[in-house]
Amino acid sequence: MTKVYLNGTYVAREDARIPVEDRGFLFGDGIYEVVRVIEGRLFAWDAHAARMANGLAGLRIRQDGAESATLRAVCERLVKENGLATGEATVYLQVTRGAAPRIHHFPPADTPTTVFGSTARFTPNVAMRTNGAKGITLPDIRWSRCDLKTVNLLGAVLARQAAQEAGAYEALFHRDGMVTEGAATNAFMVVGGVLRTYPLCHYILPGITRMEIVSLAHELGIPLEERPVSLSDLPRVDELFVCGTTTDVQAIVELDGEPIANGKPGPVTVRLREALTRRLMAGAA
Ligand SMILES: Cc1ncc(COP(=O)(O)O)c(C=O)c1O
């Protein structure tokens, strides 16, 4: 029986209930996190907890019951109770503004939030990581607070569906002629020997994996600039990869039907993928 966490209790997944008036359901009014778990250890917990707190503050959702220590204990207990203390898994956390009659503006300040946690077994796609994947490009139709990890994911849902229909893994968004990020990943490109990625701002999610890649690039002496790459330069980059909690470092070797460079994962991508794997396995950060 798989257990989930809901508002202070651990219950069988099929017994978990949220009211139909939950604002997460009605408005997408909430914040979520996905955390990687390796051999029972939560990877980069503090960074995930800080991003969640920042997201809740950004939406002005109460944080009581969703403090870092509380949520960490929830994750660790779910991992143990669901038999995920060995191998790989993910934890999903979501906090919404709670249930209240459907009015757009905030409900009374004492409305309890909904705090939910669940786990899943995770198996990285080793063949795709090794061989590379296909990507497509799409206009970034999302709102302009992409730095908040809200459960409003329609932009990503539509983009990933378009990718799926094109036989691709990821959709890369562009805004104002610049590549911002993937539908559920951050994007890096090697241009003229320099690793480039969109700078942190409200147009991209501050990915935890992105942060790890930036730190690994420094550690490995790989020149890095947090500077956008234009859509028109994209077909001519030497390497392109996307990264995320469940994506690791994923080479994109074909974009919109055209090969990137020689159509194989490039050396910087491979180095960073291997370095990230070592860090994940060590449970560092
Ligand atoms: C839009 C977007 N960008 C980037 C990422 C990668 O973030 P992280 O490395 O924290 O998983 C995600 C993850 O879901 C995402 O949804």
Please state, in angstroms and rounded to a whole number, the distance separating the CA atoms of residues 96 and 112: 9
pLDDT of 284 above 60: no
Distance 187 CA to ligand 1 centre (A): 10
Long-range (24+ apart) CB contacts under 8 A made by 231-237 are: 231/137, 231/174, 231/177, 231/178, 231/179, 232/177, 233/191, 234/137, 234/172, 234/179, 234/189, 235/260, 237/189, 237/190, 237/191, 237/261
Measured at the alpha carbon of residue 34, what is the angle toward residues 29 and 37, in degrees to the nearest 5? 155
The fold of the 3-121 domain, in CATH, is D-amino Acid Aminotransferase; Chain A, domain 1 (3.30.470)
In the chain, what are the domain boundaries? 3-121, 126-282
Please state, in angstroms and rounded to a whole number, the distance separating the CA atoms of residues 181 and 243: 10
Rg (alpha carbons) of the chain, rounded to whole number? 19
Q: Which amino acid is at 53?
A: A
Compute the mean pLDDT over every residue in the chain, rounded to the nearest whole number: 97
pLDDT tier at 283 (50, 70, 90 boundaries)? confident
H or E stretch including 187?
strand 186-191
* Cβ(181) – ligand 1 distance below 6 Å: yes
Q: How far is CA 169 from the centre of its chain?
A: 15
In terms of Cβ atoms closer than 10 Å to its own Cβ (0-12, 13-18, 19+), residue 200 is middle
Lookup: tokens for 206: 């501050």
Close Cβ partners of 77 (under 8 Å, ≥ 6 residues apart): 5, 10
Q: What is the pLDDT of residues 91-120, one digit of tens each?
A: 999 999 999 999 999 999 999 999 999 999
Q: What is the pLDDT of residue 285?
A: 40
Q: What is the pLDDT of residues 216-236, one digit of tens each?
A: 999 999 999 999 999 999 989
Q: Which amino acid is at 127?
A: A
pTM over 0.75: yes
* Cβ(150) – ligand 1 distance below 6 Å: no
pLDDT of 21 above 60: yes
Please state, in angstroms and rounded to a whole number, the distance separating the CA atoms of residues 17 and 8: 13
Mean pLDDT confidence for 162-172: 98
CATH code given to domain 126-282: 3.20.10.10
Mean pLDDT confidence for 204-221: 98
In terms of Cβ atoms closer than 10 Å to its own Cβ (0-12, 13-18, 19+), residue 263 is exposed
Q: What is the pLDDT of residues 61-96, one digit of tens each?
A: 999 999 999 999 999 999 999 999 999 999 999 999
In terms of Cβ atoms closer than 10 Å to its own Cβ (0-12, 13-18, 19+), residue 218 is exposed
Active site residue 3: no
* Cβ(187) – ligand 1 distance below 6 Å: no
Mean pLDDT confidence for 201-208: 98
Ligand 1 pocket test: pick from 52, 90, 185, 209 the residue with the most ligand atoms within 8 Å of its Cβ.
185
Topology match between the domains 3-121 and 126-282: no
Contact indicator for 44, 285 with CB cutoff of 8 Å: yes
Q: What is the pLDDT of residues 132-142, one digit of tens each?
A: 999 999 999 99
